Amino acid sequence: MSTPHYHTPGGKLRARGAGVPFVGTPGPWNAITDVPGIEVGYCTLIEGSGPLVVGQGPVRTGITAIFPHGRERANAGAYAGWFSMSGNGEMSGTAFIDERGRFDGPITITNTHSCGLARDVTAKWLFSRLRPGEKNDQPFWLPVAAETHDGPLNDVNGHHVREEHVIAAFEDARSGPIEEGSVGGGTGMRCYEFKGGSGTASRAVEFDGKTYTVGAFVQSNFGKRRLFTLAGLPIGLEIPTGTEEAPDDGSIIGIVATDAPMMPHQLRRVARRAAFGIARSGGVASNESGDLFLAFSTANSDAVEQHEGIVNAAYVGEQGMTPFYEAAIEATHEAIMNSIFGNETMVGRDDYACPGLPVAKVQAILARHGLLVPTD
């Protein structure tokens, strides 16, 4: 049986396809793109092998773009909130989000030393596409661009992500099922000392007679093997590295989206809860980690774009927020798992090999505890 819940468009196995049990009901694609209007695009850069030569490679990196209202409404804004669980990282535009409770244009996620370039190219590209009636609040952009560090696998100091690659990610943006693992900004990332990277998931939430969606997208690059937890089991202890423990100096970027109407203060709460998805998998937000989360709503788009007069906007009543918190936690946790399951061993700079998750061993552990879910 092959469904978007079990495999990516390219045929990569997803965590559900391996029989991992999860809580909650996903959307049709089990992806952030289940939130209507959202589109995701990638540009993946893989070149060279052998010893590191700064400026030449090897290259194991890329860029991810997330459009809240699709590429055709690239300049459109969204109400948002953000949260820093551990601030050893970068997410541009957050001061503006604190001030205005919104952001404009696509979100980009890439490696640490390409974050500034992605932000600047986004502003330049948005200006080139500006149409009459758009962006009438102020004549500039403060794009959201985020990063995690892929230096162990990639020539990060070579600055291989260029303007054309950012634009290629924009042009690749689409709805529907999306790829996971070593694609886009997640290409050179590691998670729990396995190959990590890009992952996504979603949850349906019934509220006030309607079905809303909460979708999550992560770029995972964090965690010590011995802390890796799955379905409540200490998987990392059962699949040790066999070598001296490496420092936990990675990070994660988490993006949570919903079509439920929410105000910025509510979205800040959602962003904080999404960070619990790390804890569910064994993350501790270590000293060297940049664990940054952004939550946004695609609802109230007319209100977001109205800058004069009295603005009317809908929002979820306070007593209705808890199911959305749960959905954000569950979707973020599953997105992290998908970023690991959708991967194979990658060899990068100086022949460093980051191992893919041994899925058969994980399935055997789950089966031994009666937790393996049939997928036929």
The 3-state secondary structure of 42-75 reads EEEEEECCECCECCCECEEEEEEEEECCCHHHCC
Report yes or no: 373 and 20 within 8 Å, Cβ to Cβ.
Answer: yes
| Residue 202 known to be catalytic | no
CA–CA separation, 131 and 264 (whole Å): 27
Which residue in 251, 281, 297, 339 is the catalytic one?
251
Please tell me the predicted confidence (pLDDT) of residue 342. Answer: 82
26-52 burial: b if 16+ Cβ within 10 Å, else e: bbebbbbbbbebbbbbbbbbbebeeeb
Q: Which of the residues in the chain have pLDDT under 50?
A: none
CATH number for the region 16-368 comes to: 3.60.70.12
CA–CA separation, 9 and 24 (whole Å): 23
CA–CA separation, 237 and 226 (whole Å): 5
| Residue 251 known to be catalytic | yes
Please tell me the predicted confidence (pLDDT) of residue 1. Answer: 52
Tell me which residue of 369, 366, 278 sits closest to 16, measured CA to CA. Answer: 366
Tell me which residue of 148, 187, 155 sits closest to 48, measured CA to CA. Answer: 155
Please tell me the predicted confidence (pLDDT) of residue 52. Answer: 98
Question: DSSP characters for 250-317?
Answer: -EEEEEEEESS---HHHHHHHHHHHTHHHHHHT----TT-EEEEEEEESS-HHHHH--SS--------
For residue 336, what are the contacts with CB-CB under 8 A and spacing of at least 6?
191, 199, 218, 220, 252, 277, 278, 281
Please tell me the predicted confidence (pLDDT) of residue 363. Answer: 97
Report yes or no: 75 and 104 within 8 Å, Cβ to Cβ.
Answer: yes
Please tell me the predicted confidence (pLDDT) of residue 139. Answer: 83
Please tell me the predicted confidence (pLDDT) of residue 248. Answer: 66
Domain ranges of the chain: 16-368
The pTM of the full predicted model, rounded to 2 decimals, is: 0.97
Tell me which residue of 109, 138, 136, 137 sits closest to 122, measured CA to CA. Answer: 109
Which residue in 220, 289, 297, 339 is the catalytic one?
289
Helices H / strands E in the chain, number of each: 9, 14
Q: Is 150 helix (H, G, I), strand (E, B) or coil?
A: coil
Cα angle at 295 between 289 and 300, to 5 degrees?
165
Which residue in 104, 150, 155, 291 is the catalytic one?
291
Tell me which residue of 265, 255, 58, 222 sits closest to 156, measured CA to CA. Answer: 58
Predicted confidence (pLDDT) per residue in 114-136, tens digit: 999 999 999 999 999 888 878 77
- For residue 245, give the DSSP letter: P
Q: What are the tokens at 32?
A: 């952030």
| Residue 289 known to be catalytic | yes
